[in-house]
């Protein structure tokens, strides 16, 4: 591998920026000063340093984000602030993207990565990877509502099989009837995903979603220690389990 490619993939800068670092004598390979960006190295056998600090060569990145409301789940937007703006300068990379979307007003678990293969396995309707949500809705969720979700709910504008959801009633809270009446807090697990699906599923049974939080994707569970807007890298164990449950490491 060319040295400039190795450095750029390690997040040290663009190809042109790392070439400048090399020319200025800031890069060593096995403690020997390097002047040529065309130098070929074995990424697994050499020790590369920038200003004396070891360079970690990592090409794939995985961050668990607790998304706050008000941000859009895209890499760029001309109008709204995106979830990418939450990344610290040292963690930002131009090839990172959200693996799937959460609505602007939806909070919770969002995976930021540059691993397109894993993202495909997590999001493909054929993989049936479970997504779990905590949903607060206006209205009284009953046994009949739960049975309707289990049987499948037809969404307006969507053709094909009805959308099935594993719906569990968590609590029913009675607020001031003059204000909002009954609200139900439920747990919902779905395996397919389309635009505004959760909100549309409840709307199909006559209920409006008031708040929505995603808490799980496959085996990956939202870290309770992450405040909204915070993020952290996945652990090796979390990544291995996520690859296993999504099938990404089985093909």
Q: Give the pLDDT confidence of 76-120 residue by residue, as tens digits.
A: 999 999 999 999 987 888 889 999 899 999 999 999 999 999 999
User: Which of 93-97, 131-135, 177-181, 186-190 shows the lowest mean pLDDT across its residues?
Assistant: 177-181
CATH 3.30.70.580 domain range(s) in the chain: 60-104+111-128+230-251
pLDDT at 90: 79
pLDDT at 249: 60
Residue 187's Cβ-count burial label (10 Å; 0-12, 13-18, 19+) is middle
**Which 8-state DSSP code applies to residue 81?**
-
CATH number at 130-217: 3.30.70.1560
**How do strand 220-221 and strand 182-190 relate by DSSP bridges?**
unpaired
Which of residues 103 and 249 earns the better pLDDT score? Answer: 103
Task: Name the band, by pLDDT with cuts 50, 70 and 90, for residue 178.
Answer: very low
**Residue whose pair of structure tokens reads 């969720």 in the numeric block:** 141
**Which 8-state DSSP code applies to residue 113?**
E
Percentage of the chain with pLDDT > 70?
A: 95
CATH number at 3-54: 3.10.290.10
pLDDT at 159: 82
CATH 3.10.290.10 domain range(s) in the chain: 3-54
Would the CA dihedral through 220, 224, 225, 227 be positive or negative? positive
Active-site residue 223, yes or no? no
Q: CA Rg, the chain, in Å?
A: 23
Token reading at 161: 């099989």
Active-site residue, selected from the candidate residues 77, 103, 105, 138: 103
User: Which of 172-176, 217-221, 237-241 shows the lowest mean pLDDT across its residues?
Assistant: 172-176
Q: Which CATH class is domain 60-104+111-128+230-251?
A: alpha beta
Task: Say if residue 181's pLDDT is above 90.
Answer: no
CATH 3.30.70.1560 domain range(s) in the chain: 130-217
């Amino acid at each position: 591998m060319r040295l400039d490619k190795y450095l750029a993939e390690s997040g040290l800068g663009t190809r042109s920026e790392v070439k400048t670092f090399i020319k200025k004598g800031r890069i060593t390979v096995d403690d020997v000063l390097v002047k040529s960006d065309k130098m070929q190295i074995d990424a697994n056998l050499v020790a590369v340093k920038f200003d004396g600090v070891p360079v970690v060569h990592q090409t794939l990145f995985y961050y668990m984000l607790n998304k706050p409301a008000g941000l859009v789940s895209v890499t760029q937007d001309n109008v709204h602030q995106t979830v990418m703006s939450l990344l610290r300068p040292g963690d930002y990379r131009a090839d990172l993207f959200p693996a799937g979307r959460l609505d602007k007003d939806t909070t919770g678990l969002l995976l930021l990565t540059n691993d397109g293969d894993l993202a495909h396995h997590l999001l493909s309707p054929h993989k049936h990877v479970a997504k779990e949500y905590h949903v607060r809705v206006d209205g009284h969720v009953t046994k009949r509502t739960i049975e309707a979700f289990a049987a499948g709910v037809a969404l307006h504008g969507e053709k094909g099989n009805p959308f099935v959801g594993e719906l569990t009633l968590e609590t029913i809270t009675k607020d001031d009837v003059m204000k909002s009446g009954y609200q139900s807090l439920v747990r919902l697990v779905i395996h397919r995903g389309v635009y505004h699906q959760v909100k549309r599923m409840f709307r199909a049974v006559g209920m409006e979603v008031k708040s929505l939080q995603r808490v799980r994707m496959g085996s990956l569970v939202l870290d309770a220690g992450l405040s909204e807007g915070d993020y952290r890298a996945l652990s090796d164990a979390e990544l291995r389990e996520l690859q296993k449950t999504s099938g990404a490491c089985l093909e």
